[in-house]
Structure 1
Amino acid sequence: MSNSPARRHIRFNAFDMNCVGHQSPGLWRHPQDRSADYTDLHYWADLAQTLERGLFDGIFIADVLGSYDVYGGSAAAALRQGTQTPVNDPFLLVSAMALVTENLGFGVTAGTAYEHPYPFARRLATLDHLTRGRVGWNVVTGYLPSAARNMGNDDLLEHDERYDHADEYLEVVYKLLEGSWEDDAVVRDAATGVFTNPEKVHPINHEGRYFKVPGIAITEPSPQRTPVIYQAGASMRGIAFAAGNAEAVFVGAPTKEILKSTVARIRDAVQATGRDRHDVRIYTMLTIITDATSELAAAKHEEYQSYASEEGALVLLSGWLGIDLSAYGLDDEIGDVESNAIKSAVESFSKLRSDDGTPWTVRDIAAWAGIGGMGPRVVGSGAEVARELIAWVDETDVDGFNLAYAVTPGSFEDVVEFVIPELQACGAYPTEYAPGTLRNKLFGRGDKLPETHRGAAFTTRNRLASR
């Protein structure tokens, strides 16, 4: 019998959005793609059941509140190509998917810039109740200027100030969900007629730079109290924000070398706050194109590429980078630019070089982003893909993958059919779900925030003890 340690399990999230095409502009035209059914709850229910069969940690639903109008200075190209426009609210999908699954988690994106934390905390608690504790919140600060303008602002806040604002936003949410109602506040005593003991419900008395919230939360404690905190952003300020708040971090890196550096910086920052360096699950974006053989997978990839939209890719990239790429020729290099959008995206693409050592051109990054966005693609048979994923985990210390799709649900169905059995056969993927809430499934340490997490300082237990 071998005494070697068990292989680390790879983790999967499905990366989707309540829109057409998501990260693969143009692929909505493929006859097998159902992303145009995004307005149909049956599509989402079927997808959720597919992902649960594959033992995915969850479905991570991205969102933007605004159109991609950096490219060409208008939304025309985004509308023409169906590039994350139109896009619907992600929160309203979750109840339907939760009803047809038992274990799948739901990471829902919501920004801190344009909704007050008081009603938002109630929405989080409501979904946590309805899903029996399977919800996570992907905290974003926003990067599209169109969203800022449509909410009455001239432009976005500066990059780092967006995170300052988000820090206080989370403080309010923590106070409401962790520190207002004691665990035993709800008594449901039919004999006395008391449903909630008012002495065990406390006003949060928050008054800060951005928000003033004096009163009590209006929701009783949910299974996790605070849903699992997700964060996407690998700039210096984004990592500092993640170090104190995030339990799962999504990153995008085109190479193993860049990913390894990013993962190490995140883990170092988490450890510097007093948490264990593996107290966050780090997922990197990646697209898998697979089939029964490598030849079939390569043919499938070639077919998908024939549907990819170069203009649609440039629309997305312009929004992510904060640069109007319509002003460049396809054979131009981007060069050094200042950005108020996703700084980590600018940093990653600026490091990429062709085989001859020259920086990537606009044409190169458009071809890269045409299927799966900013993440790399892995093409091959199930066994070939499994070996490559294991290599990414072993070489970079990443926990798993946020899987974008070429076509949906086909790309996810292929992963479940061809890749997961190969990973399981070599002990690199779970064969069953862990019990309990999403937080317990991810970490195996219970349903609530650990004491080392920033939010734990605001629990009723710790707040009352500090008086």
Structure 2
Amino acid sequence: MKPRIILNAFDMTCVSHQSAGTWRHPSSQASKYNDLDYWTNMARELERGCFDTLFIADVVGVYDVYRNSAEMALKDAAQVPVNDPFAAISAMAAVTSHVGFGVTAAVTFEPPYLLARRLSTLDHLTKGRIAWNVVSSYLNSAALNIGMDKQIAHDERYDIAEEYLEVMYKLWEGSWEDGAVQRNKETGVFTDGSKVHPIQHQGKYFKVPGFHLCEPSPQRTPVIFQAGASGRGRQFASKHAEGMFILTTNVQQARKMTDDIRNQTEAQGRSRDSVKIFMLLTVITGPTDEAAQRKYEEYLSYASPEGMLALFGGWTGMDFSKLDPDEPLKAMDNDSLRTTLESLTSGSDKAWTVRDVIKNRCIGGLGPVLVGGPQKVADELERWVDEGGVDGFNLAYAVTPGTTTDFIDFVVPELRKRGRVQTSYKEGTMREKLIGTKDGNVESTHPAAQYRTAYVGKESVASKTIASKFSDVTKVPETV
């Protein structure tokens, strides 16, 4: 039996996410990103199509590399203005029952103690439907506005991320024992302090002496997503990720990348299928190949070349306005998204030029575009999975919500006929549905699992409590 294809919708709390200029299309509702109805309607639509997850990207800086200015990014709404990705999730969860939510948050700009609470809160409120997309941020503008002198070096950001996750795992898995929360109205004990432990973390980057503010959520540790596929990123993902987001231009390149990720995952003592790998793709479809092609050409007529170059400037750290439009692009080491140029300059017959980027990525952004009717699209998706080794896709939109609705109406039925996508949801948490764990907790081979009982028998809140001289006064009076 061939494996099920995982379907994630890829979006961001902004207007132009991966396709530049198409917000101007008459059917686009992208400019309604501030409207909660936009997000709740999307969640309902995704659940209609039995999508696994809404994967919400995020940045906390602006794309100001192109022409050394943010003017073009603002003109085309290229990921600015952008809202907090956490805010709409509770509302989306309230109108759905199964679809998961992958939310992006950077480890470089928010203390782990606070982010752990935000994610646990969402995991509680959604009944265990939360994944955290762990990123280290890449925009220099973000670092400057947070108060830094410049963006932290690429590999050091991963060093920070390693310790950040250690703190999060200690808070989520070790701080509160199973059974700590009693909710006992008879004894008056809500939480047994002897089963709540300060984590006493003191490392190079973080100092967190106390215990987690939240009681254990349905998954304790949310599903861990990771979006970096550089050499350092793959090393990080092979250790931590349960879902990984990759960029590539062709099936052969995908196979090399997925094999490497799974080899490294196995070397970490985890099974090869412990991490689900998602490929970024934009699908333009319709009832026939011809109808899909006409739609694609119509969308292209609204595309903004300079808007896309503004995005690529931020992604690569290179000012494309200074480059010869017909000179082959070369990969370079900097502190931006290294995999962006690597995906264009390796695994192809020739390196791309700026003109190629304009021609092929004004729609689709970081990932390729697939245009065709249901059969053609389904054939290609199966090829990426069966030959490229990916588990599924992060499906970006050209026009929202039309791109997603077309995929659900035309492609999903064809994939269902082939037995490649789910026709209904299993019960349980996001991890149970995605990874197949039986209790919703991380697998025993995942690094978070080592902290589950790490503090049992050690210092607790109760062991630090001193006797009260008001013990007689504070006793609960006996009933008469």
The alignment's TM-score, normalised by the length of structure 1, stands at: 0.96
Q: Is the contact between residue 434 and residue 444 of structure 1 (CA under 8 Å) also seen in structure 2?
A: no
Q: Which amino acid aligns with 1:445?
A: T
Q: Is the 8 A contact 1:27 1:308 kept in 2?
A: yes
Cα contact 2:23–2:29 (8 A) shared by 1 = yes
Match of 1:378 among 345, 370, 378: 370
**Do structure 1's residue 452 and structure 2's residue 445 form an aligned pair?**
yes
Deviation at 1:191, TM superposition (A): 1.2
Cα deviation digits, residues 270-291 of structure 1 (max 9, x gap)? 1110000110110000011000
Which of 243, 246, 249 is 2:244 aligned to?
249
Residue 153 (str. 1) matches residue 145 (str. 2): no
Q: Distance in 1 between matches of 2:458 and 2:182?
A: 25
Instruction: Name the structure 2 match of 1:229.
Output: 224
Residue aligned with 1:282, SS: strand
Task: Determine the C-alpha separation between the residues in 2 that align with 1:335 and 1:203.
Answer: 49
Asked whether the equivalents of residues 221 and 442 of structure 2 are also in contact (C-alpha less than 8 Å), the reply is yes
Q: Distance in 1 between matches of 2:413 and 2:191?
A: 49
Do the aligned residues in 2 keep the contact of 1:70 with 1:323 (CA within 8 Å)? yes
Q: Distance in 2 between matches of 1:410 and 1:246?
A: 31
For residues 116-135 of structure 1, give each alpha carbon's deviation from its aligned partner in whole angstroms, at most 9, with x where no partner exists: 00011000100000000000
Distance, in Å, in 1 between the alignment partners of 2:62 and 2:350 is 33
Instruction: Give 1:324's match in structure 2, choosing from 299, 319, 327.
Output: 319
Counterpart residue type for residue 386 of structure 1: A
- Equivalent residue, structure 1, for 2:212: 217
Q: TM-score, normalised by structure 2?
A: 0.94
Partner SS for 1:307: coil
| CA distance in structure 1 between the aligned counterparts of 2:246 and 2:190, rounded to whole angstroms | 44
Structure 2 match to 1:297: 292
- Tell me the distance in 2 between the aligned counterparts of 1:45 and 1:202: 38
* 1:80-99 alignment runs, 5 A limit: 80-99=75-94
| Aligned CA distance change for structure 1 residues 28 and 100 (closer, same or farther; 3 Å) | same
The one-letter amino acid paired with 2:444 is E
Which of these residues, 388, 392, 398, is aligned with residue 396 of structure 1? Answer: 388
Matched residues in 2 for 1:383 and 1:100: separation?
32
Structure 1 pair 250/466, CA: closer, same or farther in 2 (3 Å)? farther
- Asked if 1 retains the 8 angstrom alpha-carbon contact of 2:197 and 2:458, the reply is no
- Tell me which residue corresponds to 1:205: 200
Secondary structure in structure 1 of the residue aligned to 2:118: helix
Q: Matches of 1:55 and 1:401 in 2, distance apart?
A: 14
Partners of 1:339 and 1:346 within 8 A in 2? no
Query: Residue 403 of structure 2: SS of its match in structure 1?
Result: helix
**Residue by residue, what CA displacement relative to the aligned partner does 1:215-260 show, whole Å, maximum 9, x if unpaired?**
1111000000010000011111101110111000011111111111
The yes-or-no answer on 1:407 pairing with 2:402 is no
Question: In the aligned structure 2, how far is the partner of 1:153 from the partner of 1:445?
Answer: 41
The alignment partner of 1:238 has SS state of helix
User: What's the CA shift for 1:464?
Assistant: 2.8
Q: How does 1:259-274 map to 2 (within 5 A)?
A: 259-274=254-269
Moved more, 250-259 or 344-353: 344-353
Structure 2 gap ranges (5+): 460-480
Quote the residue 1:306 is aligned against: 301
2:95 maps to 1:100: yes
- Paired with 2:396 and 2:277, the residues of 1 have a C-alpha distance of 15
Cα RMSD (Å): 1.3
Unaligned runs of 5+ in 1: 1-5
For 2:463, the equivalent position in structure 1 comes to none
> Residue 91 of structure 1: SS of its match in structure 2?
coil
- Looking at CA atoms only, which structure, 1 or 2, has the larger radius of gyration? 2
Question: What secondary structure is seen at the aligned counterpart in 1 of 2:102?
Answer: strand
**Conserved? CA contact 2:228–2:234, under 8 Å:** yes
Runs of 4+, deviation exceeding 3 Å:
none
- Offset of residue 332 of structure 1: 2.6
SS in 1 for 2:216: coil
The superposition leaves residues 112-151 of structure 1 with CA deviations (integer Å, 9 ceiling, x where unpaired) of 0010000110001000000000000000001000000001
Query: 1:265 & 1:87 partners in 2: Cα distance?
Result: 34
TM-fit CA distance, 1:351: 2.2
- Separation in structure 1 between the aligned mates of residue 161 and residue 448 of structure 2, nearest angstrom: 14
Provide the aligned length of Structure 1 versus Structure 2: 458
Residues 220 and 336 (structure 1 numbering): CA distance in 2 closer, same or farther, change over 3 Å? closer
Equivalent runs, 1:404-443 vs 2, <5 Å: 404-443=396-435
- The one-character-per-residue Cα deviations of 1:404-451 (angstroms, maximum 9, x if unpaired) are 000011101011100011011011111111210000000221200111
Q: Name 2:12's counterpart in structure 1.
A: 17
Q: Among the aligned pairs, what percent are the same residue?
A: 52
SS class of match (2:387): helix
Amino acid at match of 1:100: V
Distance 2:359 2:131 in 1: 32
